[in-house]
Amino acid sequence: MTKAKTSSALSHPDLRESCANVLSMFSWLASTGITAMPAAGPSGNPFRNRRMCDAAHDGMLITLRCNGCRRTLHFWAADLVKVVGEHHQVHLAPWPCSRCQTADFIDVSWTVPGAAMLTGLTVRRPVRKIERWLWRNEKA
């Protein structure tokens, strides 16, 4: 993909439509039997990987499992879009583990959850964004 293609995707006024275009391209490729799409694993080419806006559009639940502290958290892709942006690749951890201070141990998985999965499931939802000042001591 060219740089020009990147900027046209970014500046697209209707993100939902651009996602739909990408999805229809994927299903066209699948119907040709040319290649397996993102389920086959992340590609080196970011344009071939599922983006957060695709996952949000599909109503996906993103599960982050940190194998360092063995903690598992569930998020709605539609919530993560607001935090990491629509072009964030879903397979990349959105942030480091808050306990381990690293993303190295985080496994990301995603699924369209069925009713059975959602029963009794706890999902992390954004409440509000907090902005705060950082202070430091300096020589007068």
Residues that bind Zn ion (CB under 5 A): 66, 68-69, 97, 99-100
Q: How far is the CB of 59 from Zn ion (least distance, A)?
A: 27
Report d(CA 68, CA 58) in Å as an integer.
30
Q: How far is the CB of 88 from Zn ion (least distance, A)?
A: 20
Closer CB to Zn ion, 81 or 97, in the complex: 97
Closer CB to Zn ion, 56 or 97, in the complex: 97
Query: If 0-12 CB within 10 Å is exposed, 13-18 middle and 19+ buried, where does residue 51 land?
Result: buried
The C-alpha R_g of the chain, in whole angstroms, comes to: 18
Q: How far is the CB of 42 from Zn ion (least distance, A)?
A: 21
Sequence letter at residue 82: K
Q: Let me know: does 75 contact 62? Beta carbons within 8 Å.
A: yes
Closer CB to Zn ion, 29 or 92, in the complex: 92
